[in-house]
Structure 1
């Protein structure tokens, strides 16, 4: 079917399209952070909105009224909450007199997890729909005098498709644990050399000796009040470690409780004399993937973070046959010594102003070579130590 017969529409709220129509395009390759309910929760809670510099600007393609393609997009007035740190490019743009903001951004807000893509009807040719979406995006940016479009945390197929359409990539890396078919946690430990196995067992033993025990709760087994408890942990962690106000509003956690509990698991740490958890991590699961998103604690204990965010989650993933665990951004040195190899994670960019385009082309290959060296170093160091 030809894309000439498609009607394009830009919408300023995910609620201007139905959940059924949007999620139908997601069924072939599920990704929880593009689920209509997740995006609506971000918008409805005020976490991703124009006032926060995340103006929803989603693109739809319809054929005879039926949705056949969609792109979750945002007009951004800053680079916060993206976890691809392009402030240096913005500084270069300022120096040469080219505006960098607003920019058009494709990602699920605040979710640096591989999997973003354009959503397409499986009965249509994906490449043709991608090409038509990019034509609409280019025309939109030209009409609004937007100097760049950027797509972050894309899945590998999306990256390949977009490179064929002329977008240039900027290489980053993520650290993702893979389960080759472990039967239990001891199988996971067996992949390490003896000294690292001893370190992990020692860390777990220290937590147990402190009197802390754990429960992993998922779906309908999660008490409703735990979502608000998780918000307190999340917000306190943001302020404590990064010194800025948190991105997600309290109302977003209510949205998760009401509409997305089926995709959520909490790792909960308890002291014997406390009814509520003293530490929690929030996991999102979908198919063969597990994503670690937020964590926090009320009391400081040695190795509590490792147990809450890594070991308990890995054990839970093994029990359920989950293949991949993306534990979130940060903590590279911690992760690489616990079985999380570095994986290439390109972002995609198109600069419309010729000056920025030339600067990008002159430098990006060298930048990518340096990042690949970093990936090789991380994985080589891990092989030496495991």
Structure 2
């Protein structure tokens, strides 16, 4: 696939097959301009260091079904936009499922794969996907969308998909003619709690007792729990994390998405963006949860264990993340994809967004009708699930 350009706007689109072809400062000028002062980015997933760790570790690239085609938009020699774009040979590791679209299109004689995906691989976390320099949002987004669509059209690909984008990007994409899709996740929201007991006080009596009982049983597993960030995370911890990750990956996906080398690179470049929660018993780590840290959000990513202990999963993944958010004044915890069991633990259903362009008009029309019906169903589901949440009735009425 050759680079394309948009001369009508005097903005050039360049397609890069490796992040080694662009300095980190140029990419991050669009990906995380809020961190130019050395602070934490809003989220780490589109930073040069995170995406390059995926690339350098072989987690994306040849043989993975995720072939990098990073889009960059330039005004002369000034970068004004960037997007983590991949040519996808399948729909795995996306968490916005389009398997039924692919099946229908191929049954009708079409070729759905490869397709183009603007996304963070294996990461169902909402964040900016059409990355733009401050003040260049409108023209930068337009150039990136036009560039991706032109790239797909020029190469006979079935479509372009932008997954887990922000609500603002979804509205902008709709205005440019893309189809928007609604999904849902479960997020915990910090209402200025002074501590975990303060959060518990907002729950119904029955749910409050349940959570206290779960935490007590989890912490009686016979060891200690450690929450580590930055330099507290040591190289040897990744041997345990890899073992946990392989176990979970084998059960959920068949083959883990990330390579072992990813964790080694992440230790060097990403450990300041991480919260690692480990359960240690008899001198060895027997379970762990890996979170990524944004400026105001904790993103739950991976969990695994080599011993089963009652409720330890909930403690490490959900309750310790809440503890950290409260202690550090963070606004929410995003616990990843799926899992209605999170509702009873104070994680409420939240709308997520994606954008889609399909080259075939017949498929596009069918999908557009489907998305309208799906969006209504998602809204209904969110309303029903929220009503069944664990909060006290008076508290629920305040949220409604």
TM-score scaled by length of structure 1: 0.95
Matched with 1:257 is 267
Write the mapping of 1:141-156 to structure 2, written as runs, cut at 5 A. 141-156=152-167
What is the alpha-carbon distance in structure 2 between the residues aligned to residue 11 and residue 172 of structure 1? 30
State whether structure 2 residue 175 is matched by structure 1 residue 170.
Answer: no
Matched with 2:52 is 40
Is contact 1:337–1:385 with CA below 8 Å preserved after alignment? no
CA offsets, 1:64-87, max 9 Å, x none?
212111111000010000011110
Unaligned stretches of 5+ residues in structure 2: 1-6, 35-40, 394-400
What is the alpha-carbon distance in structure 1 between the residues aligned to residue 350 and residue 140 of structure 2? 28
State whether structure 2 residue 326 is matched by structure 1 residue 318.
Answer: yes
CA offsets, 1:209-239, max 9 Å, x none?
3323211010011111112321111111111
CA offsets, 1:269-288, max 9 Å, x none?
112x21x3211100110111
Equivalent of 1:293, from 289, 301, 326?
301
- Please report how far the alpha carbon of residue 306 of structure 1 lies from its aligned counterpart in structure 2 after TM superposition: 0.7
Write the mapping of 1:52-201 to structure 2, written as runs, cut at 5 A. 52-124=64-136, 126-201=137-212
The alpha-carbon distance between structure 1 residues 122 and 3, as it changes in their structure 2 partners (threshold 3 A), is: farther
Equivalent of 1:379, from 358, 361, 386?
386
What is the alpha-carbon distance in structure 2 between the residues aligned to residue 243 and residue 249 of structure 1? 14
What is the alpha-carbon distance in structure 2 between the residues aligned to residue 137 and residue 242 of structure 1? 31
What is the alpha-carbon distance in structure 2 between the residues aligned to residue 310 and residue 10 of structure 1? 39
SS of 2:33's equivalent in the other structure is coil
CA offsets, 1:4-27, max 9 Å, x none?
222221111111111111112122
Is contact 2:203–2:390 with CA below 8 Å preserved after alignment? no
- Please report how far the alpha carbon of residue 137 of structure 1 lies from its aligned counterpart in structure 2 after TM superposition: 1.7
CA offsets, 1:266-317, max 9 Å, x none?
111112x21x321110011011110010011111111110111111111111
What is the alpha-carbon distance in structure 1 between the residues aligned to residue 342 and residue 84 of structure 2? 30
- Please report how far the alpha carbon of residue 385 of structure 1 lies from its aligned counterpart in structure 2 after TM superposition: 7.4
- Please report how far the alpha carbon of residue 30 of structure 1 lies from its aligned counterpart in structure 2 after TM superposition: 2.8
The alpha-carbon distance between structure 1 residues 215 and 328, as it changes in their structure 2 partners (threshold 3 A), is: same
What is the alpha-carbon distance in structure 1 between the residues aligned to residue 244 and residue 323 of structure 2? 22
- Please report how far the alpha carbon of residue 50 of structure 1 lies from its aligned counterpart in structure 2 after TM superposition: 2.9
Structure 1 residue runs of 4 or more that deviate by more than 6 Å after TM superposition: none
Is contact 2:292–2:300 with CA below 8 Å preserved after alignment? yes
Matched with 1:16 is 21
SS of 1:59's equivalent in the other structure is strand
Backbone CA RMSD of aligned residues: 1.6
What is the alpha-carbon distance in structure 1 between the residues aligned to residue 248 and residue 100 of structure 2? 26
Aligned residues: 380
What is the alpha-carbon distance in structure 1 between the residues aligned to residue 253 and residue 366 of structure 2? 33
CA offsets, 1:235-272, max 9 Å, x none?
11111x3250100000000111011111011111112x
CA offsets, 1:33-74, max 9 Å, x none?
101010001011111113110000111112221211111100
State whether structure 2 residue 224 is matched by structure 1 residue 223.
Answer: no
